[in-house]
Chain A
Amino acid sequence: MTEKTKRERPAFNKIISAAIESHYNNIQTNRPMGYALMAPNPLVEIAYAAGIQPAFPENYAAVSAVKHLSRKYCETAEAHNYAPDICSYCRNNLGYVYDSKENPPFGGLGRPDLLLLTSSACTHYFKWWDALHEIYKIPMIYINTPRVMEPQAMPDYYLAYAIREIEAAIIQVEDIAGTKITHEKLSQAVTLSGEVVDYWHKLLDLQKAEPCPVNLTDISNALFVLIALVGKQEGVDVIKTVYDETKQRVTDGIGIFTKEEEKHRLMWINIPFWFNLGLFGYFEKRGCVFPLSDYTQYIWGTTKMDGAKPIESLARKALEGELNSSLDDQIEKMLVDIKEYHIDGIIAHSNRSCRVLSVGIPDAVKVIQKELNLPSLVLDGDHTDERVYSDANIMNRIEAFLEMLG
């Protein structure tokens, strides 16, 4: 078993928790409400501009895992013939859909009025939303975009295709919401989204400080704002609070540890084990902090959102980000960031449920080892299905790795 940390968390976690609770309350009350894919999804800003409340099944799957409900939901989905080799986010959600829903976390995810999908992640999501479409028989708005293997040399027609997809989606959303999304409304939502993104970048930059001001669990918590509250003033207000507090911590030299106590600065690759966030507390007990993760760094907030060009910004959002790019591109970024964040070890989660973030990990860690001479540890697991997680094996391997780090 992992030990729990007793360190004082940054105060902003309470503000984010309140924002999450408020979001789930809104899901219960606001209509129309649509299930939106979390992967960089331009339909979030469009939904807010149209007065549609987005809800995020992936976030709810992670919440369910934190509450140790994923076993129950996965088993329910499997009883409905969704095989265990399907991503556990999907099984969590489909299990929840078929579940009796007695006392679900945050009062539940509610029954959606529409579905908001992009293809910027993986086939699982297309098939997942398609399955929800079959179950609920409600309208689905779907933005298809190509995968961009070489972002520096993206052909113009990729952007043109994405723009036409966004334009078509706006017409569909207007039809469902019964409201016109004026240029002003869309521009305002994109401007607010851009402000969140700008704060996010500044926040991530602060993590370069020694001692590292906050840990990966805190940043992962704040990620909710970058995904779910983009396009709302509330999102800007919350992320500004997070940034201000973190900046103050850097100014005051306050970190998870003192500079002397901070023994190792590690990078976490892939999604955390949501059912065992206490693992990060264990690392803290051993003087290790995680200033850097591809999960918080390269997936969301990678697009400069320009209110003067709202449709182009939204199209670029659908095209950019780690989930729609290539591992080679990520490796290049990691090699730079590992140095800038003063990282001295890599923990990579080979996540059987998230192939987009996992395929190529063996190659990535080899490149990092070769180029930067950094030690790395690859852990096999799953982001939400704790039935495939072996605590004893994982802890043995981590223990050996930390001993080697010294």
Chain B
Amino acid sequence: MSNILEHMARVIQDASMVLSKTREETGCKMIGIFHPVVPEELIYAAGLRPVRLFPYIDDFITEGDAHLQTYLCSNVRAVWDQVIKGKYSYFDGAIIPRSCEAVTFLYQTWKRHNPYPFIDYINVPWKRSENAIDFFAKELGRIKNDLEGFTGKEISEDSLHNAIRVYNRNRGLLRKVCELKKAESPIISSTETLKVVMSSFILDKEEHSGLMEQLLAELSKRSQGPRAKVRLLVTGGCVTDARLWEMIEDCGACVVADDVNNGSRSVFTAVNDTMEGPLTALARRYVMVPCSFNTANADRFTYISEMVMESNVHGVIFAINRNCEAEKFDYPNLDLKIREKFDLPTLHIETDYLTDMAPLRTRVEAFIEMLNAKGG
């Protein structure tokens, strides 16, 4: 395995340790964010480090349930549990978006118990009209003011353009790696790609981009991998557990495309700040992120359809977390449309934080065997 891929995998495995060390060495204040809908560029431009929140540690939820009931998404509950247990001492605050119910209502709990000096809530519109983009740009202006109040420093227009450049570069490089999965015989596995994307949530963006350039150079010299006989698309929300992706590959399939928060939804499209101000440009890009909570079923189907066609997909796995109401609501119609339009087999599995993979494996194995029997 490449040293860079090993390093990125370790960053995910030891995210908490890596962040703690970074905080200690650089002194850079860290702001946690949820979902790919928070414009990180704003935080970066403020001289802070935006870090994507997901459960960094495999630890049973023991204290979080006192505030957040068990019928909420366990990924969110696990993050909150680890926050209040003081496991993320390196954080200085969080920006929580209006997204799924669990995250939206986590904000209120977070604010009430206030574990860090900074907390903010950002109203992500549930529409993509010009009116919505105009509103979102103003909302970003408010967040910018709040961040300036926190740091005591103005966020200049230049620093915003620079942040956009840094993030566009990183997403562009990530998209290049994701593109490699589409090949008939991909030179990078889907688990490796997942870790490449997720390590960008933790590492400094410029550092990560430097690693990405080295990785792409390395990969260009890699010999072709085995032919992806069974090519799958995985769709869901926060499918952050790498064990699931490893298990799918272990069963003989390759995830050649994904529609998850910690995958394609995080890397799609660049911010175009050449035609309008940086806040409007950020608003225009981020309002388009195709998360389930703010995206109509028809738009989600368009997004998935493009990937199905581009990546020559043989089957679709819906990997949806327990109590992820938005994804579960979209599933029946998306499933029907995928079957009807593409005549593709689908499988629905319910995932959960620290879930037992064995029962899921039995179902995934059967699905892949069925696809193999069909000739992939």
Q: Which residues of A are interface residues toward B (Cβ below 8 A)?
A: 80-83, 85-87, 90, 119, 122-124, 126-128, 130-131, 133-134, 142, 144, 146-147, 149, 155, 157-158, 161, 164-165, 168, 326-328, 350, 352, 355-356, 358-363
Contact = CB atoms under 8 A, between A and B. Distances in A.
B323 interface: yes
Contact of A85 (B69, B121, B134, B328): B328
A70 B112 CA distance: 36
Q: Which of A86, A90, A130, A358 has the most CB of B within 10 A?
A: A130
B236 to A, nearest CB: 13
Q: Label chain B's interface by main secondary structure.
A: helix
Contacts of B131: 161, 164-165, 168
Contact of A157 (B125, B135, B297, B322): B135
Interface string B125-164: 1110101101100110010000000000000000000000
B68 A359 contact: yes
Contacts of A358: 69
Contacts of B325: 85-87, 123-124, 127, 355
B105 A355 contact: yes
A123 B333 contact: no
B105 A155 contact: no
A161 B69 CA distance: 33
Given A86-B329, A360-B109, 4 more contacts: A81-B348, A123-B325, A146-B125, A359-B102
Interface string B85-119: 00000000000001111101101110110000000
Contacts of A85: 71, 322-323, 325, 328
B330 A356 contact: no
Q: Which of A87, A350, A356, A362 has the most CB of B within 10 A?
A: A362
Interface in B288-313: 292-294, 296-298
B109 A363 contact: yes
Nearest to B132: A144
A340 B134 CA distance: 43
Contacts of A157: 135, 138-139
B335 interface: yes
B112 A356 contact: no
A131 B297 contact: yes
B360 to A, nearest CB: 16
B338 interface: no
Contacts of A144: 125-127, 132
Contacts of B102: 355, 359
Q: Label chain A's interface by main secondary structure.
A: helix
B331 A352 contact: no
Taking residues whose C-beta sits less than 8 angstroms from the other chain, chain B's interface range is 35 or more
A359 B69 contact: yes
Contact of A90 (B68, B323, B329): B329
Given A127-B325, A362-B69, A355 B331 contact: no
B297 A81 contact: no
A326 B126 CA distance: 19
A20 B183 CA distance: 61
Given A119-B126, A122-B101, A142-B127, A328 B329 contact: no
B123 interface: yes
B287 to A, nearest CB: 11
Of all A-B residue pairs in the complex, the 10 with the closest CB atoms, nearest first, are A127-B329, A146-B123, A359-B105, A81-B332, A161-B135, A352-B71, A144-B127, A157-B138, A83-B328, A355-B101
28 contacts: A82-B332, A85-B322, A85-B323, A123-B101, A123-B293, A124-B329, A126-B126, A127-B325, A128-B329, A130-B296, A134-B333, A144-B127, A144-B132, A146-B139, A147-B121, A149-B111, A158-B135, A161-B135, A161-B138, A165-B131, A168-B129, A326-B108, A359-B69, A359-B101, A359-B105, A360-B108, A361-B69, A363-B67
Nearest to A354: B101
Given A355-B102, A359-B101, A360-B108, A82 B329 contact: yes
Contacts of A161: 131-132, 134-135, 138
A146 B126 CA distance: 9
A125 B331 CA distance: 15
Contacts of A355: 71-72, 101-102, 105, 325
Contacts of A164: 131
Contacts of A326: 108, 111
Contacts of B322: 85
Contact of A350 (B69, B126, B292): B69
A165 B322 CA distance: 34
A41 B75 CA distance: 32
A134 B109 contact: no
B293 A130 contact: no
B66 interface: yes
